[in-house]
Amino acid sequence: VAACGGGNPPDVVNTPGGGSQSLSFVYFQECVNRELVRQLALPAGGTGSCAASGCHDNANGTGGAFRMQGSATLVDLATVSPDAARLTEMYRNFFSAQGSSVIGAPASSKMLTKPLVQGVLHGGGQIFADANTPEARLLAYWISRPVPDEFNAAESMFTPTGNGSRTCNTQ
């Protein structure tokens, strides 16, 4: 540690989010991941996917620390233990996305500021036209709602549709 500078000064204050909270894996896999792997209409024209090769694809991506497995499948948490879920491609996508987020602070999270090109450069350019696009609102919603356990406490993030399914809340 001494070779690295010896530690932090006593007046350093951590950014929002620290502590024992996480983001919801349940909401991520049902709502966020599908937006990150699908083809999005880009403000400058054309389409693109965050999980594409040359962007954030785990194998061939050039997009920094955030990595995605575009082929990750949903994890059935009713039949898979949390320890087994943590070994899946979906969880690796979640962990990478959470690592690009400041838990509880979407406006400080690269997961949202980079695709909006808000105060930070993004090699892929602007992905969301503004913070009111459905995709940006979805990311902001997820990041702004920390949970004490990533595998539970997410039901309030969904609205039942009445036919056994549910929709992802964004407000």
pLDDT in tens, the chain (171 residues): 444 444 444 553 444 444 578 999 999 999 999 998 888 888 888 888 887 877 887 777 777 788 888 899 999 999 999 999 999 999 999 999 999 999 999 999 999 998 898 888 787 888 888 999 999 999 999 999 999 899 976 788 999 988 888 999 998
User: Which pLDDT score, from 0 to 100, does residue 129 have?
Assistant: 87
Parallel/antiparallel/unpaired status of strands 158-160 and 47-48 = unpaired
Paired strand residues for 47: 41
- Helices (H) and strands (E) counted in the chain, each on its own, are 6, 4
User: Which pLDDT score, from 0 to 100, does residue 44 have?
Assistant: 85
User: Which pLDDT score, from 0 to 100, does residue 78 have?
Assistant: 93
| Cα–Cα distance, 93 to 37 (Å, whole number) | 10
Decide if 67 contacts 58 (C-beta within 8 A). yes
User: Which pLDDT score, from 0 to 100, does residue 19 have?
Assistant: 58
User: Which pLDDT score, from 0 to 100, does residue 155 have?
Assistant: 84
| Cα–Cα distance, 168 to 171 (Å, whole number) | 9
Parallel/antiparallel/unpaired status of strands 158-160 and 166-168 = antiparallel
Whole-prediction pTM value? 0.83
| Cα–Cα distance, 14 to 27 (Å, whole number) | 26
User: Which pLDDT score, from 0 to 100, does residue 140 have?
Assistant: 97
Q: Which residues of 124-133 are buried (b: 16+ CB within 10 A; e: fewer)?
A: beebbeeeeb
User: Which pLDDT score, from 0 to 100, does residue 72 have?
Assistant: 93
SS3 32: helix
